[in-house]
Structure 1
Amino acid sequence: MPKSDNLFVCYTTVSRIPEAESLAEDIVKSRLAACVQIDSPITSVYRWKDKVEKEEEIRIVLFALESALPKLETFVADRHPYDTPKWVCCRAEKVSEKYLKWANEVCNLRGFI
């Protein structure tokens, strides 16, 4: 197995559950994230084209290795239904050894990263 990698937690949103499920499944199948969680609907308030908008969205939380972030960002952007998708990633400062080992095992296969 390659050297252990740092874990990042990334966020994006979509407007419907089927979009979230499809994106999540494609990401996990591609081994770009160890796990993807789909949250219940949230309310987002934001400015778009100089107007304040309020929309119900589905939040997607991705648990990915640092080495995969460039490919993952491109993957999400290419498949995302929004013109300007949210893409925010934060390094996980404390991760259990077992979880990090598992994430590295399921994501670090030759040819993917």
Structure 2
Amino acid sequence: MKPLLVTTTCETLEDAKAIARAVLAQKCAACVQISAPATSMYWWNDVIAEEPEFIVTMKSEAKCFDTLCLTIKEHHRYEVPEIIATDIVAGDKAYLQWLAETLAVNSGE
């Protein structure tokens, strides 16, 4: 098992919840957290943009990343959504076991 934290951002809480529901329904994430709006600043079309965004953090596994990424893109309104995966290098054994068992349903393990 190679657990991941996958992050995206959304313009609205409703968009964030729609993505959360979609990835949970696909069983490509075991848990999703939506954080209060943050101020995002980034380059877009040669200007610095500044927007409030909701941060969506998903707990998943490397084997589910392609499906997770596709599901996010299918439900995201951004032209180029942020989709970043970070390896989970350590965690509570029971939590990581729950993560693996939850996502095993998706892969038929």
**AA matched with 2:19:** L
The reply on whether 1:39 has 2:29 as its aligned counterpart is no
> Residues 42 and 110 from structure 1, CA distance in 2 versus in 1: closer, same or farther, beyond 3 angstroms?
closer
Task: Please report the TM-score for the alignment, with normalisation by the length of structure 1.
Answer: 0.91
**AA matched with 1:68:** C
- Structure 1, unpaired ranges of 5+: none
- Structure 2, unpaired ranges of 5+: none
Q: Confirm or deny: 8 A CA contact 1:10 1:90 kept in the other structure.
A: yes
The reply on whether 1:103 has 2:99 as its aligned counterpart is yes
What SS class does the counterpart of residue 109 from structure 1 fall into?
helix
* Runs of 4 or more above 2 Å deviation: 110-113
Aligned residues: 109
State which of 23, 26, 29 in structure 1 corresponds to 2:25.
29
Task: Please report the TM-score for the alignment, with normalisation by the length of structure 2.
Answer: 0.94
Q: How do 1:35-74 residues align onto structure 2 when only pairs under 5 Å count?
A: 35-74=31-70
Q: CA RMSD in A?
A: 1.4
Identity of aligned residues (%): 24
Q: Offset of 1:13 from its aligned partner?
A: 0.4
Point out the structure with the larger helix share. Answer: 2
